[in-house]
Protein backbone atom coordinates (compact mmCIF):
# COMPACT_ATOMS: atom_id res chain seq x y z
CA UNK A 1 0.00 0.00 0.00
CA UNK A 2 2.77 2.46 0.89
CA UNK A 3 4.58 1.69 -2.37
CA UNK A 4 1.45 2.25 -4.45
CA UNK A 5 0.76 5.44 -2.51
CA UNK A 6 4.25 6.69 -3.35
CA UNK A 7 3.64 6.20 -7.06
CA UNK A 8 0.36 8.11 -6.78
CA UNK A 9 2.08 11.01 -5.02
CA UNK A 10 4.67 11.10 -7.79
CA UNK A 11 2.08 10.63 -10.52
CA UNK A 12 -0.26 13.40 -9.42
CA UNK A 13 2.61 15.66 -8.40
CA UNK A 14 4.48 15.42 -11.71
CA UNK A 15 1.66 14.95 -14.21
CA UNK A 16 -0.94 17.29 -12.72
CA UNK A 17 -0.06 19.57 -9.80
CA UNK A 18 3.29 20.72 -11.19
CA UNK A 19 1.62 22.33 -14.19
CA UNK A 20 0.27 25.31 -12.26
CA UNK A 21 3.79 26.19 -11.05
CA UNK A 22 5.30 25.90 -14.55
CA UNK A 23 2.52 27.34 -16.74
CA UNK A 24 3.77 30.94 -16.65
CA UNK A 25 7.23 29.92 -17.89
CA UNK A 26 5.71 27.71 -20.56
CA UNK A 27 3.59 30.61 -21.82
CA UNK A 28 6.61 32.91 -21.84
CA UNK A 29 8.78 30.45 -23.78
CA UNK A 30 6.18 29.90 -26.49
CA UNK A 31 4.94 33.52 -26.53
CA UNK A 32 1.41 32.45 -25.70
CA UNK A 33 -1.09 34.15 -23.39
CA UNK A 34 -1.22 32.11 -20.21
CA UNK A 35 -4.89 31.22 -20.78
CA UNK A 36 -3.87 29.56 -24.06
CA UNK A 37 -1.48 27.33 -22.16
CA UNK A 38 -4.32 26.37 -19.84
CA UNK A 39 -6.46 25.80 -22.94
CA UNK A 40 -3.87 23.33 -24.22
CA UNK A 41 -3.94 21.66 -20.82
CA UNK A 42 -7.73 21.41 -21.04
CA UNK A 43 -7.46 19.71 -24.43
CA UNK A 44 -4.94 17.28 -22.97
CA UNK A 45 -7.41 16.40 -20.18
CA UNK A 46 -9.98 15.70 -22.88
CA UNK A 47 -7.52 13.36 -24.62
CA UNK A 48 -6.97 11.54 -21.35
CA UNK A 49 -10.71 11.19 -20.88
CA UNK A 50 -11.14 9.67 -24.32
CA UNK A 51 -8.45 7.10 -23.50
CA UNK A 52 -9.94 6.10 -20.13
CA UNK A 53 -12.39 3.44 -21.42
CA UNK A 54 -9.55 1.76 -23.34
CA UNK A 55 -7.42 1.82 -20.20
CA UNK A 56 -10.29 0.25 -18.24
CA UNK A 57 -10.68 -2.51 -20.82
CA UNK A 58 -6.95 -3.28 -20.74
CA UNK A 59 -7.01 -3.30 -16.94
CA UNK A 60 -9.81 -5.87 -16.86
CA UNK A 61 -8.16 -7.97 -19.57
CA UNK A 62 -4.45 -7.85 -18.64
CA UNK A 63 -4.40 -6.72 -14.99
CA UNK A 64 -3.94 -3.24 -13.54
CA UNK A 65 -0.32 -3.80 -12.47
CA UNK A 66 0.90 -4.52 -15.98
CA UNK A 67 -1.00 -1.54 -17.37
CA UNK A 68 0.47 0.77 -14.72
CA UNK A 69 4.02 -0.46 -15.38
CA UNK A 70 3.58 0.31 -19.06
CA UNK A 71 2.04 3.66 -18.13
CA UNK A 72 5.10 4.63 -16.07
CA UNK A 73 7.32 4.29 -19.14
CA UNK A 74 4.74 6.18 -21.18
CA UNK A 75 4.65 9.01 -18.62
CA UNK A 76 8.44 9.38 -18.72
CA UNK A 77 8.50 9.43 -22.53
CA UNK A 78 5.65 11.98 -22.62
CA UNK A 79 7.37 14.31 -20.15
CA UNK A 80 10.59 14.24 -22.17
CA UNK A 81 8.70 14.77 -25.44
CA UNK A 82 6.90 17.79 -23.98
CA UNK A 83 10.17 19.26 -22.71
CA UNK A 84 11.83 18.80 -26.10
CA UNK A 85 8.98 20.42 -28.05
CA UNK A 86 10.44 23.16 -30.30
CA UNK A 87 7.13 24.92 -31.00
CA UNK A 88 3.70 25.43 -29.42
CA UNK A 89 1.95 22.77 -31.53
CA UNK A 90 4.34 19.99 -30.51
CA UNK A 91 4.20 21.29 -26.95
CA UNK A 92 0.41 20.88 -26.94
CA UNK A 93 0.80 17.36 -28.37
CA UNK A 94 3.28 16.63 -25.58
CA UNK A 95 0.75 17.74 -22.98
CA UNK A 96 -1.80 15.41 -24.53
CA UNK A 97 0.70 12.55 -24.32
CA UNK A 98 1.23 13.30 -20.62
CA UNK A 99 -2.49 13.12 -19.87
CA UNK A 100 -2.89 9.98 -21.96
CA UNK A 101 -0.16 8.33 -19.88
CA UNK A 102 -1.73 9.56 -16.64
CA UNK A 103 -4.89 7.60 -17.44
CA UNK A 104 -2.84 4.41 -17.10
CA UNK A 105 -1.06 5.25 -13.82
CA UNK A 106 -3.30 7.42 -11.63
CA UNK A 107 -6.33 6.70 -9.45
CA UNK A 108 -8.58 4.84 -11.89
CA UNK A 109 -5.83 2.26 -12.53
CA UNK A 110 -4.70 2.18 -8.89
CA UNK A 111 -8.25 1.63 -7.61
CA UNK A 112 -8.73 -1.22 -10.07
CA UNK A 113 -5.45 -2.75 -8.88
CA UNK A 114 -6.74 -2.79 -5.30
CA UNK A 115 -10.03 -4.36 -6.41
CA UNK A 116 -8.14 -7.04 -8.34
CA UNK A 117 -5.88 -7.83 -5.39
CA UNK A 118 -8.83 -8.28 -2.98
CA UNK A 119 -12.34 -7.01 -3.83
CA UNK A 120 -13.68 -7.49 -0.29
CA UNK A 121 -11.15 -5.11 1.27
CA UNK A 122 -10.92 -2.73 -1.69
CA UNK A 123 -13.11 0.05 -0.23
CA UNK A 124 -10.92 0.32 2.85
CA UNK A 125 -7.74 0.02 0.76
CA UNK A 126 -8.91 2.82 -1.57
CA UNK A 127 -9.41 5.07 1.45
CA UNK A 128 -5.91 4.26 2.71
CA UNK A 129 -4.45 4.93 -0.73
CA UNK A 130 -6.10 8.31 -1.09
CA UNK A 131 -4.93 9.15 2.42
CA UNK A 132 -1.32 8.63 1.35
CA UNK A 133 -1.69 10.26 -2.06
CA UNK A 134 -3.26 13.35 -0.50
CA UNK A 135 0.25 14.66 0.15
CA UNK A 136 0.87 15.11 -3.60
CA UNK A 137 -0.02 18.79 -3.79
CA UNK A 138 1.61 19.61 -0.45
CA UNK A 139 4.88 18.03 -1.62
CA UNK A 140 4.96 18.91 -5.29
CA UNK A 141 3.74 22.52 -5.34
CA UNK A 142 6.69 23.73 -3.23
CA UNK A 143 9.04 21.08 -4.69
CA UNK A 144 8.28 22.12 -8.27
CA UNK A 145 8.68 25.79 -7.36
CA UNK A 146 12.01 25.07 -5.66
CA UNK A 147 13.30 23.11 -8.65
CA UNK A 148 12.08 25.77 -11.03
CA UNK A 149 14.00 28.41 -9.10
CA UNK A 150 17.24 26.92 -10.46
CA UNK A 151 16.05 24.82 -13.43
CA UNK A 152 14.02 25.61 -16.53
CA UNK A 153 10.60 24.01 -16.80
CA UNK A 154 12.06 21.63 -19.39
CA UNK A 155 14.75 20.49 -16.97
CA UNK A 156 12.14 20.01 -14.25
CA UNK A 157 10.27 17.68 -16.60
CA UNK A 158 13.49 15.73 -17.25
CA UNK A 159 13.85 15.20 -13.50
CA UNK A 160 10.25 14.05 -13.25
CA UNK A 161 10.70 11.63 -16.16
CA UNK A 162 13.68 10.05 -14.42
CA UNK A 163 11.60 9.57 -11.26
CA UNK A 164 8.91 7.73 -13.22
CA UNK A 165 11.47 5.34 -14.68
CA UNK A 166 13.57 4.89 -11.55
CA UNK A 167 10.84 4.75 -8.90
CA UNK A 168 7.34 4.20 -10.34
CA UNK A 169 8.13 1.59 -12.99
CA UNK A 170 9.83 -0.91 -10.61
CA UNK A 171 7.00 -0.59 -8.08
CA UNK A 172 4.27 -1.09 -10.68
CA UNK A 173 6.16 -4.02 -12.19
CA UNK A 174 6.33 -5.65 -8.75
CA UNK A 175 2.64 -4.97 -8.04
CA UNK A 176 1.72 -6.64 -11.33
CA UNK A 177 2.60 -10.01 -9.77
CA UNK A 178 0.12 -9.42 -6.92
CA UNK A 179 -2.95 -8.54 -8.95
CA UNK A 180 -5.17 -11.08 -10.64
CA UNK A 181 -6.98 -10.44 -13.89
CA UNK A 182 -10.75 -10.49 -13.34
CA UNK A 183 -12.97 -13.03 -15.05
CA UNK A 184 -13.90 -12.47 -18.68
CA UNK A 185 -16.68 -13.85 -20.72
CA UNK A 186 -14.18 -15.74 -22.85
CA UNK A 187 -12.47 -17.68 -20.07
CA UNK A 188 -15.39 -18.09 -17.72
CA UNK A 189 -13.07 -18.27 -14.71
CA UNK A 190 -14.39 -16.90 -11.44
CA UNK A 191 -12.77 -14.46 -9.07
CA UNK A 192 -12.99 -15.38 -5.39
CA UNK A 193 -14.56 -12.96 -2.92
CA UNK A 194 -16.28 -10.90 -5.63
CA UNK A 195 -18.34 -7.96 -4.36
CA UNK A 196 -21.96 -7.62 -5.49
CA UNK A 197 -23.48 -4.19 -6.10
CA UNK A 198 -26.47 -2.85 -4.17
CA UNK A 199 -28.58 -2.00 -7.23
CA UNK A 200 -30.79 -4.24 -9.37
CA UNK A 201 -30.05 -4.38 -13.09
CA UNK A 202 -32.99 -2.19 -14.18
CA UNK A 203 -31.79 0.76 -12.02
CA UNK A 204 -28.12 0.67 -12.91
CA UNK A 205 -28.16 2.79 -16.06
CA UNK A 206 -30.04 5.72 -14.55
CA UNK A 207 -28.02 5.64 -11.33
CA UNK A 208 -24.77 5.43 -13.31
CA UNK A 209 -25.74 8.63 -15.16
CA UNK A 210 -26.49 10.38 -11.87
CA UNK A 211 -23.26 9.12 -10.30
CA UNK A 212 -20.96 10.25 -13.07
CA UNK A 213 -22.80 13.59 -13.33
CA UNK A 214 -22.22 14.35 -9.66
CA UNK A 215 -18.60 13.21 -9.76
CA UNK A 216 -17.99 15.17 -12.97
CA UNK A 217 -19.37 18.39 -11.47
CA UNK A 218 -17.23 18.11 -8.35
CA UNK A 219 -14.18 17.22 -10.46
CA UNK A 220 -14.87 20.21 -12.73
CA UNK A 221 -14.81 22.57 -9.76
CA UNK A 222 -11.77 20.91 -8.21
CA UNK A 223 -9.83 21.06 -11.49
CA UNK A 224 -10.72 24.69 -12.09
CA UNK A 225 -9.83 25.93 -8.62
CA UNK A 226 -6.77 23.75 -8.01
CA UNK A 227 -5.09 24.66 -11.29
CA UNK A 228 -5.76 28.35 -10.62
CA UNK A 229 -5.34 28.28 -6.84
CA UNK A 230 -2.31 30.56 -6.68
CA UNK A 231 -3.33 33.16 -9.30
CA UNK A 232 -6.92 33.14 -7.99
CA UNK A 233 -5.84 33.87 -4.43
CA UNK A 234 -3.50 36.57 -5.68
CA UNK A 235 -6.34 38.17 -7.65
CA UNK A 236 -8.39 38.28 -4.45
CA UNK A 237 -5.67 40.36 -2.81
CA UNK A 238 -3.95 37.67 -0.77
CA UNK A 239 -0.58 38.23 -2.45
CA UNK A 240 2.40 36.44 -0.95
CA UNK A 241 0.18 34.44 1.40
CA UNK A 242 -1.22 32.51 -1.58
CA UNK A 243 1.44 29.79 -1.48
CA UNK A 244 0.92 29.24 2.26
CA UNK A 245 -2.85 29.05 1.79
CA UNK A 246 -2.49 26.66 -1.13
CA UNK A 247 -0.27 24.28 0.82
CA UNK A 248 -3.07 23.72 3.37
CA UNK A 249 -5.12 22.00 0.68
CA UNK A 250 -3.05 18.80 0.86
CA UNK A 251 -3.19 18.34 4.66
CA UNK A 252 -6.94 19.00 4.55
CA UNK A 253 -7.32 16.26 1.94
CA UNK A 254 -5.39 13.92 4.19
CA UNK A 255 -7.54 14.89 7.19
CA UNK A 256 -10.78 14.10 5.36
CA UNK A 257 -9.44 10.73 4.24
CA UNK A 258 -8.27 9.99 7.77
CA UNK A 259 -11.78 10.79 8.96
CA UNK A 260 -13.20 8.41 6.34
CA UNK A 261 -10.77 5.69 7.38
CA UNK A 262 -11.57 6.06 11.09
CA UNK A 263 -15.32 6.13 10.45
CA UNK A 264 -15.08 2.68 8.83
CA UNK A 265 -18.43 1.47 7.55
CA UNK A 266 -20.47 3.91 9.63
CA UNK A 267 -20.65 6.33 6.68
CA UNK A 268 -21.39 4.63 3.37
CA UNK A 269 -19.84 5.86 0.09
CA UNK A 270 -23.03 7.69 -0.91
CA UNK A 271 -23.02 9.56 2.39
CA UNK A 272 -19.41 10.58 1.77
CA UNK A 273 -20.42 11.76 -1.70
CA UNK A 274 -23.10 14.04 -0.27
CA UNK A 275 -20.70 15.46 2.33
CA UNK A 276 -18.01 16.00 -0.31
CA UNK A 277 -20.37 17.84 -2.64
CA UNK A 278 -21.75 20.03 0.14
CA UNK A 279 -18.32 21.11 1.37
CA UNK A 280 -17.47 22.63 -2.03
CA UNK A 281 -20.06 25.46 -2.08
CA UNK A 282 -19.59 25.98 1.66
CA UNK A 283 -15.84 26.54 1.22
CA UNK A 284 -16.36 28.90 -1.72
CA UNK A 285 -18.88 30.95 0.26
CA UNK A 286 -16.33 31.26 3.07
CA UNK A 287 -13.74 32.62 0.63
CA UNK A 288 -16.20 35.03 -1.01
CA UNK A 289 -17.35 36.41 2.34
CA UNK A 290 -13.82 36.71 3.78
CA UNK A 291 -12.37 38.71 0.87
CA UNK A 292 -8.69 39.39 1.43
CA UNK A 293 -8.84 38.31 5.08
CA UNK A 294 -6.10 35.67 5.37
CA UNK A 295 -7.79 33.69 8.14
CA UNK A 296 -10.89 33.27 5.96
CA UNK A 297 -8.78 32.13 3.02
CA UNK A 298 -7.03 29.60 5.24
CA UNK A 299 -10.42 28.25 6.32
CA UNK A 300 -11.47 28.05 2.65
CA UNK A 301 -8.40 25.97 1.78
CA UNK A 302 -9.10 23.58 4.65
CA UNK A 303 -12.82 23.11 3.91
CA UNK A 304 -12.24 22.87 0.16
CA UNK A 305 -9.48 20.34 0.75
CA UNK A 306 -11.78 18.27 2.98
CA UNK A 307 -14.34 18.08 0.19
CA UNK A 308 -11.79 17.29 -2.50
CA UNK A 309 -10.25 14.58 -0.33
CA UNK A 310 -13.57 12.80 0.03
CA UNK A 311 -14.27 13.24 -3.70
CA UNK A 312 -11.15 11.24 -4.53
CA UNK A 313 -12.36 8.40 -2.32
CA UNK A 314 -15.85 8.19 -3.79
CA UNK A 315 -14.47 7.98 -7.33
CA UNK A 316 -13.28 4.50 -6.38
CA UNK A 317 -15.67 3.36 -3.63
CA UNK A 318 -19.04 4.57 -4.93
CA UNK A 319 -18.93 2.54 -8.19
CA UNK A 320 -17.88 -0.54 -6.21
CA UNK A 321 -20.68 -0.10 -3.66
CA UNK A 322 -23.39 0.56 -6.24
CA UNK A 323 -22.37 -1.81 -9.03
CA UNK A 324 -19.97 -4.41 -7.56
CA UNK A 325 -16.51 -5.65 -8.53
CA UNK A 326 -17.35 -7.46 -11.76
CA UNK A 327 -16.29 -5.28 -14.69
CA UNK A 328 -14.99 -2.65 -12.26
CA UNK A 329 -12.08 -1.52 -14.42
CA UNK A 330 -14.21 -0.91 -17.48
CA UNK A 331 -16.94 0.80 -15.46
CA UNK A 332 -14.50 3.13 -13.72
CA UNK A 333 -12.84 3.74 -17.09
CA UNK A 334 -16.15 4.94 -18.52
CA UNK A 335 -16.82 7.08 -15.45
CA UNK A 336 -13.33 8.55 -15.68
CA UNK A 337 -13.84 9.32 -19.37
CA UNK A 338 -17.06 11.20 -18.68
CA UNK A 339 -15.48 12.99 -15.73
CA UNK A 340 -12.39 14.07 -17.65
CA UNK A 341 -14.34 15.09 -20.74
CA UNK A 342 -16.63 17.19 -18.57
CA UNK A 343 -13.72 18.74 -16.69
CA UNK A 344 -11.36 19.14 -19.64
CA UNK A 345 -12.62 22.66 -20.18
CA UNK A 346 -12.37 23.62 -16.51
CA UNK A 347 -8.88 25.20 -16.51
CA UNK A 348 -9.56 27.23 -19.66
CA UNK A 349 -13.13 28.16 -18.68
CA UNK A 350 -12.10 29.31 -15.21
CA UNK A 351 -9.14 31.26 -16.64
CA UNK A 352 -11.40 32.92 -19.23
CA UNK A 353 -14.09 33.89 -16.72
CA UNK A 354 -11.51 35.05 -14.19
CA UNK A 355 -9.76 37.14 -16.86
CA UNK A 356 -12.93 38.82 -18.16
CA UNK A 357 -15.38 38.78 -15.23
CA UNK A 358 -13.10 38.46 -12.23
CA UNK A 359 -12.24 35.85 -9.64
CA UNK A 360 -15.38 36.42 -7.56
CA UNK A 361 -17.73 35.66 -10.46
CA UNK A 362 -15.75 32.50 -11.23
CA UNK A 363 -16.19 31.37 -7.65
CA UNK A 364 -19.93 32.11 -7.61
CA UNK A 365 -20.43 29.95 -10.71
CA UNK A 366 -18.41 27.18 -9.06
CA UNK A 367 -20.56 27.33 -5.93
CA UNK A 368 -23.75 26.95 -7.99
CA UNK A 369 -22.32 23.90 -9.77
CA UNK A 370 -21.46 22.43 -6.37
CA UNK A 371 -25.10 22.72 -5.30
CA UNK A 372 -26.19 20.90 -8.46
CA UNK A 373 -23.79 18.08 -7.53
CA UNK A 374 -25.41 17.85 -4.10
CA UNK A 375 -28.77 17.40 -5.82
CA UNK A 376 -27.51 14.56 -8.06
CA UNK A 377 -26.14 12.54 -5.14
CA UNK A 378 -29.36 13.15 -3.22
CA UNK A 379 -31.25 11.73 -6.21
CA UNK A 380 -29.14 8.56 -6.04
CA UNK A 381 -30.02 8.23 -2.37
CA UNK A 382 -33.70 8.62 -3.21
CA UNK A 383 -33.48 5.96 -5.95
CA UNK A 384 -31.61 3.57 -3.65
CA UNK A 385 -34.17 4.09 -0.89
CA UNK A 386 -37.00 3.25 -3.29
CA UNK A 387 -35.25 -0.02 -4.20
CA UNK A 388 -34.80 -0.88 -0.51
CA UNK A 389 -38.47 -0.19 0.24
CA UNK A 390 -39.59 -2.40 -2.64
CA UNK A 391 -37.37 -5.25 -1.47
CA UNK A 392 -38.76 -5.03 2.07
CA UNK A 393 -42.39 -4.89 0.96
Tell me the pLDDT tens digit for each residue of 33-64. 887 888 888 788 788 888 888 888 888 888 88
In angstroms, the CA 27 to CA 30 distance is 5
Inter-residue contact 68 to 113 (CB < 8 Å) = yes
pLDDT score, position 186: 41
In angstroms, the CA 160 to CA 201 distance is 44
Cα 356-26-226 angle, rounded to 5 deg: 55
Domain 2-392 has CATH 1.20.1250.20: yes
In angstroms, the CA 174 to CA 156 distance is 27
- Residue-wise burial string across 254-278, b where 16 or more C-beta atoms lie within 10 A, e elsewhere: bbbbebbeeeeeeebbbebbbbbbb
The mean predicted confidence, pLDDT, of the chain is 83
Residue 196 has pLDDT above 80, yes or no: no
What confidence tens digit (pLDDT) does each residue in 197-248 have? 556 666 778 888 899 999 999 988 888 887 777 777 777 777 666 667 767 7
Mapped onto helix, strand or coil, the DSSP state of residue 224 is helix
Q: Which of 40-44, 302-306, 367-371 has the lowest average pLDDT?
A: 40-44
> How far are the Cα atoms of 163, 219, 317, 340, 351 from residue 213, in angstroms, in the given order?
35, 10, 16, 11, 23
Taking the CA atoms of residue 154, residue 158, residue 160 and residue 162 in that order, the dihedral angle to the nearest 10 degrees is 180
What confidence tens digit (pLDDT) does each residue in 99-155 have? 899 999 998 889 889 888 888 788 888 888 888 887 787 788 889 989 999 999 999
Q: Which of 306, 328, 292 is nearest to 131 (CA)?
A: 306
pTM (two decimals): 0.75
H or E stretch at 210: helix 201-227
Rounded average pLDDT over 261-283? 86
DSSP state string for 48-90: HHHHHHHHHHHHHHH-HHHHHHHHHHHHHHHHHHHHH--SHHH
To the nearest 5 percent, what fractions of the chain are helix, strand and coil? 85, 0, 15
Q: Binning pLDDT at 50, 70 and 90, where does residue 179 land? A: low
Amino acid sequence: MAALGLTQIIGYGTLYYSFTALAASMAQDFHWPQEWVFGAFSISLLAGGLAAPLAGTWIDRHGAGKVMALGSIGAAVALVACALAPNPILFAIGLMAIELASTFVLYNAAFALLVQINPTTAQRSITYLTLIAGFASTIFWPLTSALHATLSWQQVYYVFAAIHVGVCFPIHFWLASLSKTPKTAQTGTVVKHAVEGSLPAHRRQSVFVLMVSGIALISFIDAAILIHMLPMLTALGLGSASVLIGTLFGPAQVASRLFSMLSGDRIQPLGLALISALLVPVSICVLLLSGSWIAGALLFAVVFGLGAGLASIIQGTLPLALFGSHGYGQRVGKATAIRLIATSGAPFAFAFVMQHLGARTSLIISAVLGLVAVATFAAIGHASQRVLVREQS
